[in-house]
Amino acid sequence: MNQSEPVFRLENVTRRYGDLTALDSINFEAPRNEYLSLLGPSGSGKTCLLRIIAGFEKPDEGKVYFQGKDITSLPAHERGIGFVFQNFALFPHLSVFENIAFGFRNGTMNVDASEIDKRVGEAVEMVGLAGLEDRNPEQISGGQKQRVALARTLVMQPKLVLLDEPLGALDANLRGRMQTELRMIREQLDVTFLHVTGSETEALAMGDTVSVLDSGKIIQTGAPDEIYNDPSSSDVALFLNRFNLFEGKLEKGSFAGPFGEVAVKKVQPNDRDMYAIRYDRTKAYKKGQTVPGPALPAKFLASEYLGSSIIFLFETVDRKQVEIDHHLSFGDPDEYKVGEEYVLSWDPAQALVFGKEATQ
């Protein structure tokens, strides 16, 4: 296989269920040895996309390529693509060892017992399960079950592993640790991981590249910092959950929103006029203080301490909630009184503007 060739490629893949278009003419690919995150809200088509790559489902239109070959009509078990299911899908009556070795036991593969022992042993080491080989799934924790599910896939030495919300069932602490380990495992092998998630934090933390899926369409692909700093549409900004988004009207180089009228330079194409400012770039001022430009009156509602930052929640007169994310490394925040009115503002140069009449 050509090293520079994508490991997999979807070409105009469409999947419909009755009137619903779950995947809408998707073009999507990944290079070898990449950690790819696919971020999308629930129902956006993430699982459907993975099932089509794996071969559990056929596209209504389009083609699927794997290592340069058209595999659109190849059955799942002949594809050699790994799949880690959200609910782990372990065999309850088999030991950890036998769960991991299961792929060798179906008779179609001619691998001798010592080779199976060796490969299961390596997979067990890699995912940190040494010593637990003889236990049954009910005798191990959720995090360990996740490792068995991963080892069972890695033992087959696939070039592509699909992970369907693999950390969704784990608690926050464990999730952070597994994130690091998944990335480390990926780096040790000649394998591409395609990790789907509904969590923007997870997608940005894990991926070398992040793609955003919305209603069956890929609406942006880029490096995590690119997606984070420069979402291509107001929908991407919305999923990232780090922007205050305002509706308004864009006219003659000026955006009229609930914060007044602000001159804008760059406008990105969008289906409606929207203005976005990051939570950590939004600031609150006492009434009467000079603000940098936009002025949005809002009542202070509540704060939430997150360790490295504090979130302050405000509410505008039309009951829209606006968030401020104050990084504590920038010093102590001002104190706000619940129910009291402040003026929210920001440097207008740091806002993103999306509109029907784009400037580019």
Binding stretches for Mg ion (CB under 5 A): 46-47
For residue 128, CA distances in Å to 104, 123, 183, 207 come to 21, 8, 14, 22
CB of 233 to Mg ion, least distance (A): 22
* Region near ligand ADP per CB under 6 A, out of 45-53, 120-128, 232-240, 321-329: 45-53
Could you tell me the two tokens for 76? 């799942």
Quick one: what does residue 17 bind among Mg ion, ligand ADP, none, with the CB cut-off 5 to 8 Å set by partner type?
ligand ADP
Name which position in 2, 3, 4, 17 contacts ligand ADP (CB under 6 A). 17
Asked whether position 40 contacts ligand ADP by CB under 6 A, the answer is yes
3-class SS of residue 291: coil
Quick one: what does residue 45 bind among Mg ion, ligand ADP, none, with the CB cut-off 5 to 8 Å set by partner type?
ligand ADP
169 burial (CB, 10 Å; 0-12 / 13-18 / 19+) is middle
Is the four-CA dihedral 268, 273, 279, 281 of positive or negative sign? positive
Quick one: what does residue 195 bind among Mg ion, ligand ADP, none, with the CB cut-off 5 to 8 Å set by partner type?
none
Which is nearest to 144 in space by CA: 155, 133, 153?
133
Given a contact cutoff of 8 angstroms between Cβ atoms, the answer to whether 237 and 243 are in contact is yes
Give the Cα separation of 213 and 219 in Å (integer): 6
How distant is the alpha carbon of residue 310 from its chain centre?
A: 24
Report how many residues bind ligand ADP under the rule CB under 6 A: 11
Asked whether position 292 contacts ligand ADP by CB under 6 A, the answer is no
Whole-angstrom Cα Rg for the chain: 24
Asked whether position 19 contacts ligand ADP by CB under 6 A, the answer is no
* Region near ligand ADP per CB under 6 A, out of 37-45, 202-210, 221-229, 336-344: 37-45
For residue 282, CA distances in Å to 222, 332, 341 come to 25, 16, 16
Quick one: what does residue 222 bind among Mg ion, ligand ADP, none, with the CB cut-off 5 to 8 Å set by partner type?
none
* Region near ligand ADP per CB under 6 A, out of 16-24, 177-185, 241-249, 319-327: 16-24
CB of 16 to ligand ADP, least distance (A): 9
Give the Cα separation of 276 and 296 in Å (integer): 13
Asked whether position 197 contacts ligand ADP by CB under 6 A, the answer is no
What is the footprint of ligand ADP within residues 148-167 (CB under 6 A)? none
Query: What is the per-residue binding string for ligand ADP in 46-85, x denoting contact by CB under 6 A?
Result: xxx-------------------------------------
DSSP-assigned beta bridge partners for residue 325: 311
The binding site for ligand ADP (CB under 6 A) comprises: 17, 20, 22, 40, 42-48
